[in-house]
Amino acid sequence: MTAQRAGRPSGPARSRAETAAELIADLARAAGPGARIGSRVELKEQCGVSVGTLHEALRLLQSTGEIVVKTGPGGGIFAGQSSALSDLVRSVQNQGSAEPNYAEVARVMGVLNPLIIEDAVAAVGVDSARLLRLRLEGLKEASHGELRDFVRASLELFSTIAAVPPAGILKAIAGSVLRLQLETLQRITGPIGANNRAVVDQHVEAASRLVDAIIDRDLAAALAARDLPEFMRLFATLEVNRVDLPAV
């Protein structure tokens, strides 16, 4: 048996530890919950990996409950409970270096936006208001340059909005999604041409309304600004215009 699961290619983004984890997970499923599937030495040889790589694979599977590691006499690696939850958690872990899909990332952020804005309105203070104004000025300045710089300035502004509230799970999720959006910047090329001028100017106007509303602690106005077609049209244009943003 090889370390790659049949019918599921590992792909260039998958590490040796992740590939070994797939193999061990298959062994655990075949053996059934509670069954011993081998010792560390046996699994290391079967997977064809180093001790360090095996430990990383076992750590991944222990975090999802798919295996149980027991020490001492009669110890070894035992099959745990495989479930849709464990499969989902590990699949997310395996996607750490996957190619981001801009449309999907933007869609997820669109769902999170109202919650992020609500928290920002509730927590905005003097310092965060000053920083929001600064980011907005940066967005306006970037609107006269390269398209990539303008999109980055927009992401910087929204990252500042997401950073207004104290640390929490929403901020952590938003940070992860925004990181994926940041990775798409390298695919955006060229100046802001005539075909994008109206979209860019409208985005700046909508962003200005959003910042004003957050600083004024006006949640209804902030959500209304975020929902303006002019605010989201920039990202829709980037997805459709394959000259500016090649397909990912």
pTM of the model: 0.62
> Based on the domain organization, do 110 and 70 belong to the same domain?
no
> Based on the domain organization, do 88 and 123 belong to the same domain?
no
| CB count in 10 Å sphere of residue 21 | 28
pLDDT of residue 17: 87
> Based on the domain organization, do 153 and 208 belong to the same domain?
yes
Tell me, yes or no, whether 248 lies in a domain. Answer: no
> Based on the domain organization, do 169 and 115 belong to the same domain?
yes
Looking at the predicted structure, is the pLDDT value of residue 88 above 50? Answer: yes
Look at residues 36, 65, 94 and tell me which one is the last residue of a structural domain. Answer: 94
Tell me, yes or no, whether 176 lies in a domain. Answer: yes
> Based on the domain organization, do 235 and 154 belong to the same domain?
yes
> Based on the domain organization, do 86 and 158 belong to the same domain?
no
Looking at the predicted structure, is the pLDDT value of residue 85 above 70? Answer: no
The whole-angstrom separation of Cα 145 and Cα 158 is 19
H helical segments located in the chain: 16-31, 40-47, 51-63, 84-94, 102-123, 126-142, 147-162, 169-183, 194-215, 219-226, 229-240
Tell me, yes or no, whether 163 lies in a domain. Answer: yes
88-97, 130-139, 212-221: range with lowest mean pLDDT: 88-97
Using 50, 70 and 90 to split pLDDT, how confident is the model at 2? very low
Tell me, yes or no, whether 10 lies in a domain. Answer: no
Look at residues 75, 94, 113 and tell me which one is the last residue of a structural domain. Answer: 94
Using 50, 70 and 90 to split pLDDT, how confident is the model at 78? very high
pLDDT above 90 covers a percentage of the chain that reads 40
> Based on the domain organization, do 215 and 106 belong to the same domain?
yes
> Based on the domain organization, do 126 and 231 belong to the same domain?
yes
Pairing of strands 67-70, 36-38: unpaired
CATH of the domain at 71: 1.10.10.10
Looking at the predicted structure, is the pLDDT value of residue 243 above 80? Answer: no
Looking at the predicted structure, is the pLDDT value of residue 237 above 70? Answer: no
Tell me, yes or no, whether 2 lies in a domain. Answer: no
CATH of the domain at 221: 1.20.120.530
Tokens of 186: 């390298």
Question: Can you tell me the mean pLDDT for 9-36?
Answer: 79
The whole-angstrom separation of Cα 236 and Cα 210 is 19
> Based on the domain organization, do 71 and 117 belong to the same domain?
no
Tell me, yes or no, whether 6 lies in a domain. Answer: no
Look at residues 63, 94, 125 and tell me which one is the last residue of a structural domain. Answer: 94
Is 53 within 8 Å of 16 (Cβ atoms)? yes
The whole-angstrom separation of Cα 81 and Cα 65 is 6
> How does pLDDT run across 133-186, given as a tens digit for each residue?
999 999 999 999 888 889 889 889 988 999 898 878 888 888 877 777 776 676
> How does pLDDT run across 168-179, given as a tens digit for each residue?
888 888 887 777
> Based on the domain organization, do 227 and 146 belong to the same domain?
yes
> Based on the domain organization, do 213 and 137 belong to the same domain?
yes
| CB count in 10 Å sphere of residue 129 | 16
Looking at the predicted structure, is the pLDDT value of residue 4 above 80? Answer: no
> Based on the domain organization, do 234 and 141 belong to the same domain?
yes
**Phi, psi angles (nearest 5°) of residue 77:** -105, 125
Tell me, yes or no, whether 177 lies in a domain. Answer: yes
The residues, any chain, with a CB within 8 Å of residue 80's CB and separated by 6 or more, are: 28, 33, 61, 65, 66, 67, 68
The whole-angstrom separation of Cα 84 and Cα 63 is 14
**Phi, psi angles (nearest 5°) of residue 33:** -55, 130
Tell me, yes or no, whether 170 lies in a domain. Answer: yes
pLDDT of residue 1: 37
Using 50, 70 and 90 to split pLDDT, how confident is the model at 13? very low
The whole-angstrom separation of Cα 140 and Cα 138 is 5
Total count of domains within the chain: 2
pLDDT of residue 124: 96
Question: Can you tell me the mean pLDDT for 22-45?
Answer: 92
Q: What residues make up the domain containing 206?
A: 102-240
Is 61 within 8 Å of 25 (Cβ atoms)? yes
